[in-house]
Structure 1
Amino acid sequence: MRKAPPDIQPVQDDRDDASLFRAAIGADRGKVRALPEAAPPPAAPKPKPAAKMARRDEEAAREEFRHMLVSALEAGDAMSYRREEITPRVLKKLARGEYAAQEELDLHGLPAHAAEALLREFLRDCRAHGLGCVRIVHGKGRNSEERLPVLKNLVDRVLRQRADVLAFHSPPTAQGGTGAVLVLLEKR
């Protein structure tokens, strides 16, 4: 037979639960400790900034190097250039004025920055309209302050840099001579 468990009587304490709790953990009613603030979640790592200055410097250096490769043209010098895939025969025909200019741009007398912007826009429009040969009048540059033809050298530099320019050459005197250039453009 089993014995009945002894009667367990709870201990009577006149204190309420809150005071018992404070007594057990030692909390003082006047001093309430604030929980430490939770640290904000770590921010996502920021992407490394692009090296814009280094890129600009490199582009400027390349541009300057391109200028050094082509020596400056004098007022009476003929302009001449052809891409490797263009035969010398085509360049000779261009020099003799055997290609008819489909459009013409007259830059002479303009400031260099305006002339360059106009030239780039003109070439873009000519290409968009499928023109094959154009004439650009840059002038001979005899009145230039730098004693070198500014616009002639600017046109030479811009044309050499463009992928859509196949060849160019100063035309015969009757078509502008060394004050103009005939340009063969790649068809669209």
Structure 2
Amino acid sequence: MTPPAKAQHTPTRPRRPSLRLHDLSDLAAVGRRLREEQQRAAAEAQARREAAARQEAERTLFSRSVGRITPLRQPNLAQLQPLQPPPLPVQHWLDEERVLLESISDDFDVSTLLDTDDQLSFRRPGIGLEITRRLRSGHWSIQRQLDLHGLRVDEARQALGDFIRLAHKTGLRCVRVVHGKGLGSPGKNPVLKGRVQSWLVQKKEVLAFVQARPLDGGAGALLVLLQPAAGRNA
């Protein structure tokens, strides 16, 4: 008998690890990333082109609307001056101080300064009787009036001082001061009449005053002649 042939063992090659699927997935991911980068770059480039086109269109529209622009020359530029601080109200302060110095008193005795006529008129030294006669006859027209009815003594004093000062400052010559006849006062005694005469005598702007004519207020009012204001004719 022929002995059985020995089995021949063919050496087997070592198997390579299966990497195919893994490599394909990586390749696909890389491809996706490349496509995304390309798309993003293309989108950015498109956005830049559109922005540039919009800017160019805006410049063109502005040029058509405005026309040719000529730059200003340097000499035509405005020269801005620094702001000056507001002036100090020195004149106002002086006026306030003068008012205090010229304040009128209730204690001033005017009886010796009034003319001894039936109407107790007043005129400054050097002013003749002709002035009071003309004032009483209406030679000067009444330019403004102050009515003191209803005011307390302090209020009337302040109002009269302000009125005379302003009237003189504005160049008025003849004004009327209504002090009332005292018909509504206790005992029908005119409270303000004597005080108004006293206050007027103390005002240097006053040249003379007389009791008003009946048609101008009679015993309830005084006609006052003021000094001419500086720089104005008498």
Answer yes or no: same fold by TM over 0.5: yes
Counterpart selection for 2:159 from 103, 118, 131: 118
Shift of 1:78: 2.7
Q: Deviations over 1:109-156 (max 9, x none)?
A: 211111111111101110110111101111111222365311111110
Return the alpha-carbon distance in structure 2 between the equivalents of residues 141 and 80 of structure 1.
19
Structure 2 alignment gaps of length 5 or more: 1-104, 230-234
Shift of 1:98: 2.4
1:1-188 equivalent positions in 2, closer than 5 A: 64=107, 66-67=108-109, 70=111, 78-145=119-186, 147-188=188-229
Distance 1:175 1:63, change over 3 A: closer
Q: SS of the counterpart of 1:142? A: coil
Q: SS of the counterpart of 2:186? A: coil
Q: SS of the counterpart of 1:187? A: coil
TM-score in terms of structure 2 length: 0.48
Shift of 1:164: 1.2
Return the alpha-carbon distance in structure 1 between the equivalents of residues 162 and 216 of structure 2.
23
Flag the structure with higher helix content: 2
State the identity as a percent.
40
AA at the equivalent of 1:78: Q
- Which structure: larger Rg? 2
Return the alpha-carbon distance in structure 1 between the equivalents of residues 184 and 128 of structure 2.
35
Equivalent residues of 1:96, 1:171 under 8 A apart: no
Q: What is the total number of aligned residue pairs between the two structures?
A: 121
Question: Whose RCO is larger (CA < 8 A, sep 6+)?
Answer: 1
Shift of 1:63: 6.4
Return the alpha-carbon distance in structure 1 between the equivalents of residues 224 and 120 of structure 2.
10
Q: Deviations over 1:40-89 (max 9, x none)?
A: xxxxxxxxxxxxxxxxxxxxxx963x32x528x9xxx6341001211101
Shift of 1:184: 0.5
Structure 1 alignment gaps of length 5 or more: 1-61
